[in-house]
A and B are shown apart, each in its own frame.
Chain A
């Protein structure tokens, strides 16, 4: 066996190395239970993950498209970009989780948090790099089982445990359907290699059934309507940092995989039409239904859950155009959505950790007591709503452009009309922070810890700098590919 093939997987291997180091470090460097001091406290994982990302982004490591292990593992330079986006996102989540992990009840088990999230990330890496349905499925499960443990991290809390239970039950349900779909595809083609499937698959009802079940499985991960019902309950129950991770990293990876697997395995021209029809209705339903629910929420985490479902609809809008342009739009949208959403979550975590409040009505008058936080939150919400000149405007623009070019003007119109509704509910929060007078005491003035500040700085930098759309877009465009 040629062991040099392992070198192609250097991204996965270096992440694995990070995990192992942290695993050992957890044994020896666990912080003092009373003082909470110790090198292991946030700093080490962040630095290691930073090194890992930097190594991935080195120009020399972006090799040409290759495959290894007989096609089980496939690599294209685009994957490096997506993996880096995901690992940067994880890094930001680590930063903003610092205060939460420093709570006395979490101090001992904070090592678990890092390990579980990194294992999830590793699963996503494998899912992205897979060239075979078995590999894909293992990656998917590696990404969801630790996720459950993360959701139920505050195990003494009733909501957290309930959220974990709901998630694992529905995740199993969707995995079962997905496996059923894979077996149907195997039945239709006699193979599980993406390359072979793409040649053998035709537009028969049998293969469409397989495709539908595949979309269902991924739709659960991306939380698209009607596979989204777990989202609000889980987001509400899970610890806020985990919710942030769930809403961005896990969703983004799944959306990208949905597109790449489609390009690799399902791009038979007969399937293209039914793929687009299916996605069409999913997108319309996701954006509209999620918006309608988001209007009524008062719990900010539930609110963000519906906002995330609606954003996922926009994300999938890029998939309507299965070409290279669609992929660029998708990855750019993912990047921008990540910084905007994580920025909003960073503010939420900070407020929650310092005052314990999480309702929108608690945010009344935040501007008077914490003007900087309120302002940063506003920037992030503007970016999520797609107001120029923030990054969110450009990412939406490119996504709309891709769908429009693919020949779906009506869909773009529906999506546009929905941005108006989304603007309404994002502005509700801005209104609460700036205009409304608090009924009782407003959230008192506090100072965020430095890790949260760093996380916020990274996100805001992204929101502003990525607004210079073209440059980053063109860079991503260099690596993208399509049907």
Chain B
């Protein structure tokens, strides 16, 4: 367990090495260094997981313990005994996240070797990947909310750097700025939440058994909700989701790592981390989170049905799936222990879905990367009929589509089924809503699948050069993730992660599972019926008939335009400009006056420094006498 510190330090050193001395490395060497370091990190993570889950002794009640193998006080406060600590905390969810992050990151490192081949700034790319991995790992193993916040910001910065990797493209620059500003705006609320939390509960730590929490109970719902806003920014919950589709301007492997598998689940992880507090002190607020999640899931699924850029479809599907996890956490209503803990089943379901989703969504994005690599376009119109040219990509992509649609025996089925069960247990209406969204998921994923691999071939494009399968460095991660997707569902996940850290046996509720399978299959058939053919008269007719609705959904319900209007026309024009004027005239004027005064005084007193020793001694003596007068008569 002591070696866990290396999990953080190794990527950090590789970041420094590649970042500072990158130009001394050849592309190949830089890629190898980055990948080798990540391989070691992944091995260490697996070893930690093995040690933790199988070799660590459980507590008397049978729960997995929370271990802190490493902790230092970084900045002590002198009041209230508060301090900022840095350390490593191992508990079921952090260990699970270690596996997810290091696995996906390793796959992306390998994949990038092929995908980024010959790009300018290859070393810089690997340096940023290392930085991101370090930050994300630091975030999940944080021992306290403040450390989490620091790494949270680092994650935001590295995401910014990676989205804007192609810094010569204006779209990439705009997207990176947008991502940074939107998430940073949300993080402000997170910080306020942390401050309220620290002030009232007298703690930044995650040990919720202290008595301070009862004292701060009145403020906890507010503080937790503010923190959730921060999480909603990172996890792209409505209405803070607007940055994620644009973030697809970054290199595709980056989208797979950051904007599908790891960073975007930070908000979910944050709620899971503070889950005991939510359920104990703020269950009503938690349900608000559930409804926000449900609306986001619906909205994103609706938009995904009408997009034509394949990465955008995947981006909206990510938003929708993360919203599933949010819903799953939000529908928990009691902190029950024991075998039948229905009230907090959602916790386990959410973490399970996080795990499976990370794998199959990374797979989808990496597959999309292969396709874009082959046809040099993101638009579905440039694709079609690719199944003949790219068999490996085709099969693995299909597996991922089946998984996300919830078809057994692929992993997504099991985790989504647990989410639906939890939703039905909370409120049947919520259960049905989520089932309907699951059906939409299956529909738009297969619309995407048929659009890429079946349908009309783009003959003009193929005339120039025939699409071909990607090299092994790119297909190996696909195959690896596909295998994981096939079998991850059979992991007895409840044995490792559950709300109370005890063993929980997952058992399928066949009413729920049956319904969802039937609906999913039906949607897939509908998608097949509409999109498999060379031409798609039905789909076009439908789009024609509901022209307005289609247009709105295609334009993402004009939310970006609303943001533009609010920020530019209202905030910038009517609030910022007058403030800027005030700042320039009055505030700056005041300080200019002060500076002018200081300068004048400085000129006035320079006669003291005359250079004559007699005068110095005289001032010295006068000073002594003045001091004497002050000290005696004060």
CB distance from B595 to the nearest CB of A (A): 8
A212-B627 contact in complex given A174-B620, A226-B620, A292-B598, C-beta closer than 8 Å: yes
- Which A residues touch B542, using CB under 8 A? none
How far apart are the CA atoms of A95 and B599 in the complex, in Å?
38
Stretch at the interface among B88-96, B194-202, B476-484, B608-616: B608-616
Interface size on A, as a range, is 35 or more
CB distance from A461 to the nearest CB of B (A): 15
Is the CB–CB distance between B73 and A474 below 8 Å? yes
A208-B628 contact in complex given A226-B619, A232-B609, A277-B634, C-beta closer than 8 Å: yes
Is the CB–CB distance between A208 and B631 below 8 Å? yes
- Which B residues touch A275, using CB under 8 A? 631
Considering the complex, which residues of chain A in the window 213-250 have a beta carbon less than 8 Å from any beta carbon of chain B? 213, 215-216, 220, 225-227, 229-230, 232-233
CB distance from A432 to the nearest CB of B (A): 18
Q: Which of B73, B74, B601, B627 is close to A278, meaning CB atoms less than 8 Å apart?
A: B627
Q: Which of A215, A405, A470 is close to B73, meaning CB atoms less than 8 Å apart?
A: A470
Considering the complex, which residues of chain B in the window 592-610 have a beta carbon less than 8 Å from any beta carbon of chain A? 595, 598-599, 601-603, 605-606, 608-609
Stretch at the interface among A13-21, A165-173, A442-450: A165-173
- Which A residues touch B608, using CB under 8 A? 229
Interface size on B, as a range, is 20 to 34
Q: Which of B595, B605, B628 is close to A289, meaning CB atoms less than 8 Å apart?
A: B605
How far apart are the CA atoms of A177 and B605 in the complex, in Å?
26
B76 at the interface (CB under 8 A from A): yes
How far apart are the CA atoms of A211 and B606 in the complex, in Å?
30
Is the CB–CB distance between A293 and B616 below 8 Å? no
Is the CB–CB distance between A274 and B603 below 8 Å? no
Residues of B in contact with A (beta carbons under 8 Å apart): 72-76, 78, 84, 595, 598-599, 601-603, 605-606, 608-609, 611, 613, 615-617, 619-620, 622-624, 626-628, 630-632, 634
- Which B residues touch A451, using CB under 8 A? none
CB distance from A389 to the nearest CB of B (A): 12
CB distance from B180 to the nearest CB of A (A): 20
- Which B residues touch A424, using CB under 8 A? 595
- Which A residues touch B616, using CB under 8 A? 166, 170, 229-230
- Which A residues touch B74, using CB under 8 A? 468-471
Is the CB–CB distance between B611 and A292 below 8 Å? no
A46 at the interface (CB under 8 A from B): no
A34 at the interface (CB under 8 A from B): no
How far apart are the CA atoms of A225 and B628 in the complex, in Å?
14
- Which A residues touch B624, using CB under 8 A? 177, 212-213, 216, 227
How far apart are the CA atoms of A449 and B477 in the complex, in Å?
51
- Which A residues touch B615, using CB under 8 A? 229
- Which A residues touch B626, using CB under 8 A? 226
Closest to B75 in A: A470
Is the CB–CB distance between A293 and B606 below 8 Å? yes
A140 at the interface (CB under 8 A from B): no
Is the CB–CB distance between A296 and B617 below 8 Å? no
- Which A residues touch B73, using CB under 8 A? 470, 474
Is the CB–CB distance between A295 and B634 below 8 Å? no
Closest to B603 in A: A296
Is the CB–CB distance between B634 and A292 below 8 Å? no
- Which A residues touch B620, using CB under 8 A? 170, 173-174, 216, 220, 226-227, 229
How far apart are the CA atoms of A165 and B614 in the complex, in Å?
12
A58 at the interface (CB under 8 A from B): no
Is the CB–CB distance between A170 and B613 below 8 Å? yes
Closest to B629 in A: A212
Is the CB–CB distance between A169 and B78 below 8 Å? no
CB distance from B369 to the nearest CB of A (A): 37
A24 at the interface (CB under 8 A from B): no
Closest to A469 in B: B75
A209 at the interface (CB under 8 A from B): yes
